[in-house]
Structure 1
Amino acid sequence: MTDPRCEIENLLARYTAYGDAGRVEEFASLFADDGVLRVAGRAFVGPAGVMAFATEQGIQMAQAGRLLPGFHHVGSRLVEVEDDHATASSVFAFFAPHGIDHWGTYRDHLERAEGRWQFRERSVRFSGFTTGSTAQQIVAAIVAEAP
């Protein structure tokens, strides 16, 4: 049996790789059927909800200019495993063509179901933005739509 930490690291890496590449179907498939992606006070439930959010955000980022092509750098990862459940935390920085644009944290609750690890819940929190960040405007719009 593979070390669960290796499988979890692979899940977390695929989240970043698929998200940065705009592979929204694969990105959304990383979530449990009732898994939740929480971003700036809003919750997107299940693969369909996550895919709709990721698709819309990809469009917003492309239209905003100055953000793409871009990528996330993720570090300071801490993973704690207990049987078929795990928690993880990490920090991220988003690099746009002009340099670092914004940064924040991920807090995860993960589960192994049907032989694979998946997100039960991922919370994305933004800690800061560079001056003139167009991502800051996108996040403000997400916050404004929160219930």
Structure 2
Amino acid sequence: MLEPEVIAREEIRNLLIEYVQCADGGRTERMLELFAPDALMEATGDPGCTGRDEIRAYFERAGRSIRKHMTSPSLRHHLSSINIDLRSPTEARTTAYFLAITDSGPDHWGRYRDTLRHDGTTWLIHHRLLQLEGRAPGGWLDRHEAARGTVDPS
């Protein structure tokens, strides 16, 4: 593997890790900087968000729900099996598994499927497909979805 490829992979890996740390730490502005200004984010069961303003609104709604439905608003995302497919020196596709943990234990899990591009200075997320694959019955996400009327609470 050539040195530029190793550097690109580490920069991408760091971006993915910084994203979850920003999300868990409530650092929304920095998290949004990791997306391209015209990025598209699609999450299972939700309409797509185009651009940083729509993505911000999505995460602000999630933050309000966390504060409403959790006694201790502590959420930690864990990434694993990060696969980086460098398509060119300026484009990559990634897949990473995520597991979200609350003070009650595992809450929800799935995959991030991203397309990233290097803008000459840094890598940015241009497209994120957040594939939710499961949730713990009675957990935060389950209560959030029930309150929205998108899942049967029984």
> What TM-score comes out, normalization by structure 1 length?
0.89
* Contact 2:40–2:128 under 8 Å retained in 1: yes
Which of 16, 32, 35 matches 1:31?
A: 35
Deviations 1:95-115 (A, max 9, x none): 100111111111000000131
CA contact (8 A) 2:13 2:82 kept: no
Residue of structure 2 aligned with 1:88, choices 91, 94, 119: 94
Q: What are the ranges of 5 or more consecutive residues in structure 1 without an aligned counterpart?
A: none
**Per-residue CA distance 1:10-39 (angstroms, 9 max, x = gap):** 110111010011111111111111111111
Alignment root-mean-square deviation, CA: 2.0
Alignment of 1:108-123 (within 5 A): 108-123=114-129
What's the counterpart of residue 55 of structure 2? 50
Give SS of 2:48's match.
strand
In structure 2, do the counterparts of structure 1 residues 143 and 87 end up closer, same or farther at CA, with 3 Å as the change threshold?
A: farther
Contact 1:34 1:46 (8 Å CA) reproduced:
yes
Question: Identity rate of aligned residues, in percent?
Answer: 26
Aligned to 1:62: 67
Q: Tell me, in whole angstroms, the C-alpha distance in 2 between the residues paired with 1:123 and 1:143.
A: 19
The answer to whether the Cα contact below 8 Å between 1:66 and 1:134 also exists between their aligned partners in 2 is no
Pick closer, same or farther for the CA change 1:97–1:63 going to 2, 3 Å.
same
Alpha-carbon contact 2:94-2:115 (below 8 Å) kept? yes
State the partner residue of 2:76.
71
Q: Is 2:111 the counterpart of 1:105?
A: yes
User: Quick check: 2:107–2:139 contact (8 Å CA) kept in 1?
Assistant: yes
Higher gyration radius (CA): 2
Aligned residues of 1:32 and 1:120 also touching (Cα < 8 A): yes
Q: What is the distance in 1 between the residues matched to 2:114 and 2:131?
A: 12
> Which deviations, in whole Å up to 9, do the C-alpha atoms of 1:59-102 show, x marking residues without a partner?
11111115621201110110011220000001111110011111
* Structure 1 stretches of at least 4 aligned residues deviating more than 2 Å after TM superposition: 136-144
Figure out how many residues of one structure are paired with residues of the other and give that number: 144
